A = this chain, B = another copy of it.
Amino acid sequence: MQFTSEQRLDDGVLEREFTLGEIPGILWTPASAPAPVPLILLGHPPLGLHKMYPRLVARARHSAAEGFATATIELPGSGDRPRWPAAEQARADLHRAMEAGEPVSDEIVDALILPLVEKSVPEWQAALDALLSLPEIGGPVGYSGGVISIGVRLAVVEPRIVAAGFFAGSFVPRAMFEEARQVTIPLHVLLQWDDEGNDRQAALDLFDAFSSKEKSLHANMGGHTGVPQFAGDAAAQFFTRHLK
């Protein structure tokens, strides 16, 4: 892990860009932290870190104010990382189906999501190894955010993640419902009730499948990007309960 840039944001949060091999990432740490702090991995959709930066940094600042470090990495095939023909094809198929008003087939969803899960989860785990070796990062670790299937897989395979906040706003391959039954850590699931790009019933079924003894579903009005401020506050309280 190599830091490539460093800046203090106006609220004192330290923002450092890094590379982990070929993978770019960003780490945010609170303005002042007398002891190693807990870490939240910030998940996001595969739109590239640059495009996602405004929303990511807002979440990072919010978390830093609660005493958390946050970090994120570029997903495979996004941003400046090499394009990946099968994923490009799946995305093109998805757009074609949606523009034609056709239902999105299981094949498209599988092709879009499953390889992304397979490739990205070991990358998040490698990032976790590197981040936890920094003296300023302690634990415990939470995962928060988008591409819920990546979060589900991480919650199953990565024991260092002790709590997760998911955003039910992406297609979910059928195989992930079985995997969801293996999730036992505390969960906080956000659902935008009228999310135009999301299958509400699938999100409810996925929530039902999790085996976690503590799981909460927070459904709010509005579309995919319309998560209200108070929903973010509730998610922050969830992490404060479980990572402090």
Which positions in A face B, CB cutoff 8 Å?
Answer: 193, 204, 207-208, 212-221, 228, 230-231, 233-234, 237-238, 241
Find chain B residues with CB under 8 A from A228 CB: 214
Q: How many copies does the complex hold?
A: 2
CA distance A231 to B215 in the complex (A): 11
In the complex, are the beta carbons of B208 and A193 less than 8 A apart? yes
A193-B208, A204-B204, A208-B193 given; A220·B216 CB < 8 A: yes
In the complex, are the beta carbons of A217 and B216 less than 8 A apart? no
In the complex, are the beta carbons of B217 and A218 less than 8 A apart? yes
In the complex, are the beta carbons of B221 and A219 less than 8 A apart? no
A193-B208, A204-B204 given; A231·B219 CB < 8 A: no
In the complex, are the beta carbons of B219 and A230 less than 8 A apart? no
In the complex, are the beta carbons of A221 and B214 less than 8 A apart? yes
